[in-house]
Each structure stands twice: as C-alpha cells, then as structure tokens.
C-alpha cells in the first residue's frame, strides 16, 4: 500500500532508501555543475508547475538530476529506461527522501517496464525526458491525443536521437525535442570517457578477467567504441575494431587498432563488445566460429546488437548462470559467455558512467529543459540541437568548478582572427 505522504511509486524496497541517499550524496560531490544549476533553479524556479515525465536509467546521477529539476519547480515522475539498469536503493531514496514518484525495479519484466512507462505518461506531461526514445514512442503510438499537450522533450542518447530524426523525417513527430546527445559537452565526454571506462568496469565486475594480453573485439568506432577501444588498450588488451563506415575504420586504424570484419574477428577474439546502435552485429555464423570461452558484452542502447535468439537456439536450452551477471551458453563443442543478458553492460553489471561525466550530460538536460519551457511556443515539431550557448556554459562551469583558468585572447589577437586582410 502506498503511504499518503509518499508520491505514487512502484519500486523494489523502500527500506533501501538510507543506502540510496548515501550514494546519491557521494555522486553529488562529483557533480558541481549540476549543483550550481540547482542553486540557481531554487532561486528562480524556471520550471515552476511544469509536469515532467522522465524515462532515464535510475542511477545516483539521475537522482541528482531529478533533485535539480524539482528545485526548479518541476512536478516530476521517473520510470526506468532499461529493465536492468535500475539501482533499487536509488529508487527507494527518490521516493522516500526526495519525494519523487518513481516506477522502476531492477530486473523488471517487459510488461512491468511498459506499465512503468504508462504510469509516468499518465501524469499528462508537458515535458518528456527520454534515454532511448521509449517514452516518446509510447506517447505517439498509444496516446496520440496526449501528444498535442506536450510542449517538448529532451533525448539523452545516440539511438534515441536517430529514432527521433526518423520520426521527424516521416512527419510523425508531434512536438520538438532537444537532442542532448548532440551537445559537445555530452558525447565527447559521456559517450567516450564515461561509457569507455564504465564498460571496462562492467566487464571486470562481472568476470574479474585479466585484460592484459587479451584479444578484444570492439564493434563500432563511434564515440562509445573509441572510448572502449582506448581503455581496453590501456589495460594491455590487443584491440581489433569492426566497422561499416570507411572513415571510422580509417580513424581506428590510425589510432593503432586492427580492422577486421565480423567474420574475421569471430575466431580471433576472446572478448567481444558491441557499441553500434545496430542489430545482430554478431550472429549465428559468428557464434559458431568463436573460440571456447568467448565472452560477449554489449554497450549499445538496446539488447539487439547480439543475435541472442540465435545464441539460445544454438545452445538448445543449455544455459546456466555461472556468476552474477554471467550466463554460460553450452554449444556442445564449446561454451560462450554472455554478460548482463546483452543489455548495456556498464549500467547492468556496474554503476554506469562516473558522476563527474554525468555532471555535464545532466547539466545539458536541465538547461535544455529550461530552454524548452521558455521557447516551446516558437519551436516546430522536429529535433533541435542543444543551443551552443548552453554547451559553452556547461564547459565553462565545469572548468571553473575544477579551478582551471582559460587563456583569453588579447585585443590584438581578437582583431587578427576576425580580419581577412593580413596574409603572408
């Protein structure tokens, strides 16, 4: 039964709230930019009375974003953006300590996942905040009448932005959305350094393997793939990259990595990590060619990068849990290991990105939400980049928080770079 003093919620265990609060406060220490924004929001309340529905990974960093939006006056409700990324202690703290309606249980099944999305959609939001576009998709597919009441949204990740752009191209998108992922202060740091480090963290927590000397295959050399490849190499692994884009492949080559096709990589690799935003990157023919003990992990948004139905079929039901977050598929002549059911390994088997990097991503979220509230009336139903002024402000605040001073151009230099007359 829901206590009358608590917001509506569906979470695993309210008793975990104290631990959640401790960990949220720990993360906050690393999030000075968001803290500065929260202090301003408390004074100015730019989101006063705005109903916000959020679908984000329920982590300590997200909790600090929720606190910031609430400080700005938003009436906010949160659902999980992935069934395995929820931290149950954080969900408990959000409800019990911070009064934020939260619908998220780690390990929830598909029906519960969608019931939770519906619960936040039921609040009749003016603003949506998505990580992977599931909430926006739900509103457009199942609740078209509600779409007209939404002022706008924000989207956190690459995959979500790609979906929104596809919706806009089809004329299907019903309100403007800010692509937070496209901010430089988001993807240059979050996707690359945040996912890079936390993917390694997830693989290590799940397996405790030695990476030095291991052959690691990274599929996708976008921002996430670059981060993973660099960090794996830093741990002493031999890294090969699988790419479909010639420029990305060339960049990986010149960064010092082997370039292989998926078919070439399958018998070569020992650890495989996908980060493409695509489907079935490794599939039946690759699993068959992999060596005994091959380890599979995914850091892309959806659990579709590995063809798991094919892997299950090959194992004919011979699947067992060999460690927490590691399943062993017995293919007869060999065994293949899968981490976190092929879901985002960094969030499912570790804690996701470090707070210091989410500080910038979520500063962009908070400022983009404020911008959307101020400007929605003049915007069209399409995908907008984060305004450059916000991106620059986030970088400026982060440097200031780190106590780092920037060089400033002299007047002479400013005149020089603005003029076209001086030459050789």
Ligand X SMILES: NC(=O)c1ccc[n+]([C@@H]2O[C@H](COP(=O)([O-])OP(=O)(O)OC[C@H]3O[C@@H](n4cnc5c(N)ncnc54)[C@H](O)[C@@H]3O)[C@@H](O)[C@H]2O)c1
Cβ of residue 332: shortest distance to ligand X, in angstroms? 27
The Cα–Cα gap between 86 and 59 comes to 6
Residues 44, 245, 316, 380: which binds ligand X (CB under 6 A)?
Answer: 245
Q: Any idea what the Cα angle at residue 243 is, between residues 190 and 327, rounded to 5°?
A: 70
Cβ of residue 405: shortest distance to ligand X, in angstroms? 30
Which CB, 46 or 225, lies closer to ligand X?
A: 225
Residues 269-288 interacting with ligand X (rule: CB under 6 A): 275-278, 281
Using CB positions, name the residue nearest to ligand X. 222
Question: Using CB under 6 A, which of the segments 59-67, 106-114, 340-348, 378-386 binds ligand X?
Answer: 340-348
In this structure, are residues 408 and 197 in contact, taking their beta carbons and an 8 Å threshold? no
Which CB, 239 or 344, lies closer to ligand X?
A: 344
Assess 59 for contact with ligand X (CB under 6 A).
no
Cβ of residue 190: shortest distance to ligand X, in angstroms? 6
Residues 69, 139, 237, 242: which binds ligand X (CB under 6 A)?
Answer: 242
Which CB, 302 or 379, lies closer to ligand X?
A: 302
Cβ of residue 321: shortest distance to ligand X, in angstroms? 22
In this structure, are residues 254 and 135 in contact, taking their beta carbons and an 8 Å threshold? no
Assess 80 for contact with ligand X (CB under 6 A).
no
Which CB, 164 or 395, lies closer to ligand X?
A: 164
Cβ of residue 230: shortest distance to ligand X, in angstroms? 13
Which CB, 137 or 158, lies closer to ligand X?
A: 158
Assess 229 for contact with ligand X (CB under 6 A).
no
- Residue 77 pairs in a beta bridge with 53, 101
Cβ of residue 172: shortest distance to ligand X, in angstroms? 20
Residues 20, 222, 269, 342: which binds ligand X (CB under 6 A)?
Answer: 222
Cβ of residue 366: shortest distance to ligand X, in angstroms? 18
Cβ of residue 400: shortest distance to ligand X, in angstroms? 26
Assess 221 for contact with ligand X (CB under 6 A).
yes
For 160, residues 6+ apart whose C-beta sits below 8 A from its C-beta are 130, 131, 132, 133, 136, 181, 301
Which CB, 57 or 75, lies closer to ligand X?
A: 57
Assess 157 for contact with ligand X (CB under 6 A).
yes
Assess 41 for contact with ligand X (CB under 6 A).
no
Assess 223 for contact with ligand X (CB under 6 A).
yes
Assess 205 for contact with ligand X (CB under 6 A).
no
Cβ of residue 195: shortest distance to ligand X, in angstroms? 4
Assess 175 for contact with ligand X (CB under 6 A).
no
In this structure, are residues 153 and 129 in contact, taking their beta carbons and an 8 Å threshold? yes
Residues 20, 300, 363, 367: which binds ligand X (CB under 6 A)?
Answer: 300
Which CB, 119 or 216, lies closer to ligand X?
A: 216
Assess 220 for contact with ligand X (CB under 6 A).
yes
The Cα–Cα gap between 9 and 330 comes to 40
CA nearest to 366, candidates 20, 99, 35, 22: 35
Residues 59, 82, 158, 348: which binds ligand X (CB under 6 A)?
Answer: 158
Structural tokens at position 47: 């989101």
Residue count, binding to ligand X (CB under 6 A): 29
Residues 345-364 interacting with ligand X (rule: CB under 6 A): 346-347
Residues 68, 128, 154, 191: which binds ligand X (CB under 6 A)?
Answer: 191
Contact residues toward ligand X (CB under 6 A) are: 157-159, 187, 191, 195, 219-225, 242-245, 248, 275-278, 281, 299-301, 344, 346-347
């Amino acid at each position: 039964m829901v206590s009358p003093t608590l917001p509506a919620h569906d979470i695993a265990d309210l008793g975990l709230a104290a631990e959640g609060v401790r960990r949220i406060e720990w993360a906050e220490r690393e999030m000075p930019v968001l803290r500065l924004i929260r202090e301003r929001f408390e004074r100015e309340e730019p989101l006063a009375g705005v109903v916000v529905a959020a679908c984000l990974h329920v982590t300590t960093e997200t909790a600090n974003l929720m606190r910031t939006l609430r400080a700005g006056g938003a009436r906010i409700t949160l659902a999980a953006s992935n069934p395995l990324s929820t931290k149950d202690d954080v969900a408990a703290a959000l409800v019990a300590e911070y009064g934020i309606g939260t619908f998220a249980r780690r390990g929830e099944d598909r029906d519960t996942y969608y019931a939770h999305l519906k619960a936040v959609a039921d609040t009749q939001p003016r603003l949506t905040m998505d990580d992977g576009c599931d909430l926006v998709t739900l509103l457009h597919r199942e609740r078209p009448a509600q779409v007209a009441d939404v002022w706008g949204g924000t989207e956190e990740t690459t995959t979500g932005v790609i979906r929104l752009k596809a919706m806009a191209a089809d004329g299907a998108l019903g309100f403007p959305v800010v692509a937070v992922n496209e901010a430089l202060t988001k993807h240059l740091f979050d996707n690359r350094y945040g996912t890079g480090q936390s993917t390694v963290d997830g693989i290590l927590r799940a397996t405790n393997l030695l990476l030095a000397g291991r052959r690691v295959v990274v599929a996708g050399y976008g921002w996430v793939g670059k981060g993973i490849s660099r960090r794996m190499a830093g741990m002493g692994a031999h890294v090969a990259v699988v790419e479909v884009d010639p420029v990305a492949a060339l960049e990986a080559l010149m960064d010092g990595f082997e370039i292989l096709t998926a078919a070439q990589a399958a018998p070569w690799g020992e650890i495989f990590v996908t980060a493409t935003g695509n489907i079935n990157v490794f599939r039946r023919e690759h699993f068959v060619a992999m060596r005994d003990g091959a380890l599979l992990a995914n850091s892309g948004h959806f659990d579709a990068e590995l063809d798991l139905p094919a892997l299950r079929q090959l194992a004919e039901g011979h699947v067992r849990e060999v460690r927490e977050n590691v399943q062993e598929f017995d293919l007869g002549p060999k065994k293949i290991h899968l981490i976190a059911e092929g879901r985002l390994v960094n969030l499912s088997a570790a804690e996701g990105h470090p707070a210091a990097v989410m500080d910038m991503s979520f500063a962009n979220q908070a400022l983009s939400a404020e911008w959307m509230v101020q400007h929605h009336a003049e915007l069209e139903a399409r995908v907008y980049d984060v305004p450059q002024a916000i991106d620059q402000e986030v970088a400026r605040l982060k440097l200031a928080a780190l106590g780092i001073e920037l060089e400033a151009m002299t007047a002479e230099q400013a005149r020089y770079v603005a003029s076209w007359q001086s030459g050789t």
